[in-house]
Amino acid sequence: MSEKLNTNYVDHICIAVNDVKKAEKDYINSFGWDVAYRYVDEPEKIRVTGFMVGPTAIEIMEDTDGTGEVAKFIKRRGEGVMLISYNVDNCEESLDVLKKNKVRLIDQKPRFFAEYKRNFAFIHPGATHGILTEIIDGKYE
């Protein structure tokens, strides 16, 4: 039997879009939500707007140059949910559980998101029926 991966809540859901400014306006007009944060991650080639829904962030993201993972996702599947992220107490320990469970991983060690001081790692979409899945520790501040 597999070891249970202890998760706290859904940390964030990422939605790939062609135009983040248009999508941001649509989300504000539809739900009346306030923008919680915006950032550009040059190495990942993404521009992101985040909305907080309780402890969960809904992130809309666009590719910055047409060559990153978001652009590839939209080309294959169109706009839509690209990633689900689960909050864990310790990313490295959670990766160890996933390795014991023989889960197909993208990352063997956690990556560090310096802007938010959080560790994260990706699970291959082939292990989760087509959804890129992430584990992440820490909280939005």
Whole-model pTM?
0.91
pLDDT score recorded for residue 78 = 96
pLDDT at 49: 98
Place of tokens 């990313």: 91
Tens-digit pLDDT profile for residues 49-71: 999 999 999 999 999 999 999 99
Domains and CATH numbers, the chain: 9-136 (3.10.180.10)
pLDDT at 63: 97
Please report the pLDDT score of residue 69 as a whole number.
93
For residues 136 and 10, give the distance between their C-alpha atoms in angstroms, rounded to a whole number. 10
Task: Note the pLDDT of residue 38.
Answer: 96
Percent of the chain with pLDDT over 90: 88
The parts of the chain modelled with pLDDT lower than 70 are: 141
Burial of 88 (0-12, 13-18, 19+ CB in 10 A): buried
- C-alpha 85: how far from chain center: 5
Distance of CA 135 to the CA centre of its chain: 9
pLDDT of residue 115: 75
What gap in Å lies between CA 44 and CA 7, rounded to an integer? 25
Q: What is the pLDDT of residue 88?
A: 98
Which pLDDT belongs to residue 116? 76
